[in-house]
A and B are shown apart, each in its own frame.
Chain A
Amino acid sequence: EIVMTQSPATLSVSPGERATLSCRASQSVGSNLAWYQQKPGQAPRLLIYGASTRATAIPARFSGSGSGTEFTLTISSLQSEDFGLYYCQQYNNWWTFGQGTKVEIK
């Protein structure tokens, strides 16, 4: 099983600041990496697939990068609606998720 490790567990950011979330895979997943956002009481929402392609209707302030085992999700200027949980997922070999990064208001 490919283990996905996200860091940090919690990220405290002020509105308007940049947020950088990391995700590491225990073995190469190529570019088969997705990011999801989840708000309390809601289902996850697809943000990024193919490591760097924004999903439909996702604002340009969200960007993804990386390949192989190291990946990054960047939110260039945090808005109030961006606070919540973020999960990375590999889909190269079955499907596994990271444990999540909570983005909270500083």
Chain B
Amino acid sequence: QVQLVESGGGVVQPGRSLRLSCAASGFSFSSYPMHWVRQAPGKGLEWVAVISFDGSSQNYADSVKGRFTISRDNSKNTLYLQMNSLRAEDTAVHYCVREVAYGGSYFDFWGQGTPVTVAS
């Protein structure tokens, strides 16, 4: 079955960096665009970043552009999010999300999320 397992979250000071990972299994990872979506405590969902199935293109929300980098290693079935210059407002559960391979660009499967807390 489809599994997305995030890791790498934790507590970090403002201005520092963190790298999240998402291990995918149960499907052909290299065929799917992948996303990161986050949810601040008690808040709604915010799209963060997307990467194409082959890693050739990426796009970001304005709130993280220039600070975050999404990447993937299809040989390892793993998605990454490098987060630099972290701010208090980046505190959130970060979800690894699969976009459908065709027929639209909605999200058909979500990982359980990894929490990131930015605090001094």
CA distance A34 to B50 in the complex (A): 17
The answer, yes or no, to whether A66 is at the interface (CB within 8 Å) is no
Q: Chain B residue with minimal CB distance to A55? A: B108
B107 in contact with A46 (CB, 8 Å) = yes
Q: Would you give the 0/1 interface string for B96-114, flagging 1 where the beta carbon is closer than 8 Å to chain A?
A: 0000100011111111110
Question: Chain A interface: which size bin?
Answer: 20 to 34
Q: Which of B21-29, B39-47, B68-76, B82-90 contacts A (4 or more CB under 8 A)?
A: B39-47
Q: Which of A13-21, A74-82, A94-102 contacts B (4 or more CB under 8 A)?
A: A94-102
Using a CB–CB cutoff of 8 Å, the interface residues on chain B facing chain A are 35, 44-47, 50, 59, 95, 100, 104-113
> Of A94, A99, A100, which is within 8 A of B47 by CB?
A94
The smallest beta-carbon distance between A84 and chain B, in angstroms, is 14
A32 in contact with B104 (CB, 8 Å) = yes
B110 in contact with A50 (CB, 8 Å) = no
B44 in contact with A43 (CB, 8 Å) = no
For the complex with contacts A32-B106, A97-B46, 7 further pairs of A-B residues with Cβ separation under 8 Å are: A34-B106, A43-B113, A44-B110, A87-B45, A91-B104, A91-B106, A94-B59
**B contact residues around A98 at 8 Å (CB):** 44
A43 in contact with B108 (CB, 8 Å) = no
Q: Chain A residue with minimal CB distance to B35? A: A95
Using a CB–CB cutoff of 8 Å, the interface residues on chain A facing chain B are 32, 34, 36, 42-46, 49-50, 55, 87, 89, 91, 94-100
Given contacts A44-B45, A97-B46, contact A91 B108 (CB under 8 A): no
**B contact residues around A95 at 8 Å (CB):** 35, 47, 50, 105, 107
CA distance A49 to B106 in the complex (A): 7
**A contact residues around B109 at 8 Å (CB):** 46
B104 in contact with A43 (CB, 8 Å) = no
**B contact residues around A55 at 8 Å (CB):** 108
Given contacts A43-B95, A44-B110, contact A50 B45 (CB under 8 A): no
